[in-house]
Structure 1
């Protein structure tokens, strides 16, 4: 049972300088997320550099996270495989080793039709009892999951939520108007998070939370307590940082921010490389300015 609400970090994968999993720093970050009050942990997304991880590394990360969280919050596994067969295999394996839920991307290297996309998601859903969140991001993945498609998908009881990343905030309202509480909505774009929460999103799948968990959770809690003005004060400070999430180099950007807050390193896995030159200086300046003006959070 997952409530599909609150802040759910899409966490980064920590590496050592010799390109091994850095489980010590990974645990430090997960514990910081939990101390801030997040509602779940999402593994294996873009921020987790999942496309570069070996199968055994993914399994290690899942088991490590389950051990750290001790069933206090759900651990959700992202699925972004190339074939339906592989996606089903990952879903079944995740369930067998104790994962609590799944986030599903559409087929990645083929622009599937609406019918093919629905068939793909349905096949995965029918292969597992785990609760599922569909990742709807047509900007990056070129496939939009429309309301009519969701009408078909929710015939599967375990398809329960959507990570809403269309960049159209009014889509939050359309989903809520059509499906009510049957389909929970979690905003997936950091720079539209407060606005989406105000218009009715149930939660926030966040990126910069990896470095700033307390500030992210504070914004969510303040909005849900109808203290939008107080939330806006933090959100205005946060915005230059949140913009680091909407970039092809979001992993490098966020890992630099994690260094600043002491809960990560900037080690990435090739072909990604640490930021260089003027772009590195630009990002470091944004982070440095934010750190010097970090807000005092309300109790």
Structure 2
């Protein structure tokens, strides 16, 4: 049941054709770019993956395709974001059946569960599967916080092993490390706090803009872990205006526009999402164009 919850793990976007079917050709282009850049895992079906719009069969196809592309070189994680415990158990079973290596789990969707209900939900699903689990703690967007006391209860289960820390409070990295030491891996889930979180001891980064800029993202992580902080900061300062596109209600559209600019994606989203329009589109394009124009030279980060 061991799983190495460390490194850069892209929350990959789901690619769609003009006819609103899965675009597996462009999906493969992006996944290969992520692997070539040296990412450490791949997360499917998260917010960026437009999970709420995907059918069960589409999730199966995405898992099986990604497992084939990864070819054992790095783990494939699928997000579980369901409304009922029964559906979450079924999703975990399907993930295992289709070849996923791990799960990222959100609290129940739509219903604002109590602390007791939330812990029971996670426990029940975890007991139903042997797959390792990363709890996704994002009270800003999903209105339910998984507190330290709740995590303490959940860690009685061996396959709950990591937390995606998205409270937007970087001090939580230290709080978690102080309380749990190495019992719980911490992965930053907020692009604009990634380097800060890594420097405070986060084990990894579930990243968004990595979808368009995989090499720069992995370089920041590897340089920081190697103690080459000034070099990491230089790249991170260039990256920040782009990273801020991730903390926006239209993050999917923003990041898909960035993927177009770097040649590893398309702008197609699934309704009710629609491509950006008007002044906001121009604003985002200006940020992306400036970022592409000034992309920094990278050291040989893979050899660190």
Class of the TM-score when normalised by the shorter of the 2 chains: over 0.9
Alignment length, in residue pairs?
A: 299
Give structure 1 regions of 4+ aligned residues with deviation exceeding 6 angstroms.
none
Partner of 2:33: 32
Deviation at 1:218, TM superposition (A): 0.2
SS at match of 1:192: helix
Counterpart-to-counterpart distance in 2, 1:118 and 1:186: 20
Residues 96-116 of structure 1: per-residue CA shift (max 9 Å, x gap): 121100000001111111110
The corresponding residue for 2:19 is 18
Distance 1:121 1:288 in 2: 42
Question: Which residue of the partner structure matches residue 278 of structure 1?
Answer: 279
Alignment match, 1:158: 159
1:84-106 superposed Cα distances (whole Å, 9 cap, x missing partner): 00000000111112110000000
Task: Give the secondary-structure state (helix, strand or coil) at the position aligned to 2:134.
Answer: strand
The residue aligned with 1:49 is 50
For the residues of structure 1 that align with 2:163 and 2:55, how far apart are their CA atoms? 27
Rounded to whole Å, the distance in 2 between the matches of 1:14 and 1:109 is: 25
Q: Deviations over 1:164-213 (max 9, x none)?
A: 00111111001011111110000000000000000000000000000000
Partner of 1:223: 224
- Alignment of structure 1 residues 147-186 onto 2, 5 Å: 147-186=148-187
Q: TM-score, normalised by structure 2?
A: 0.98
1: distance between equivalents of 2:251 and 2:98?
30
Counterpart in the other structure of 1:63: 64
Instruction: Return 5+ residue gaps in structure 2 as ranges.
Output: none
Give per-residue Cα distances to partners, 1:24-46, cap 9 Å, x unaligned. 00001000000000010000001
TM-score by length of 1: 0.99
Aligned match of 2:110 = 109
| SS state at 2:164 partner | strand
Gap runs ≥5 in structure 1: none
2: CA distance, partners of 1:161 / 1:248? 25
Deviations 1:118-157 (A, max 9, x none): 0000000000000000000111111111111011000000
Aligned position for 2:196: 195
The worse-fitting range, judged by mean Cα deviation, of 153-162 and 94-103 is 94-103
Aligned-pair Cα RMSD in Å: 0.6
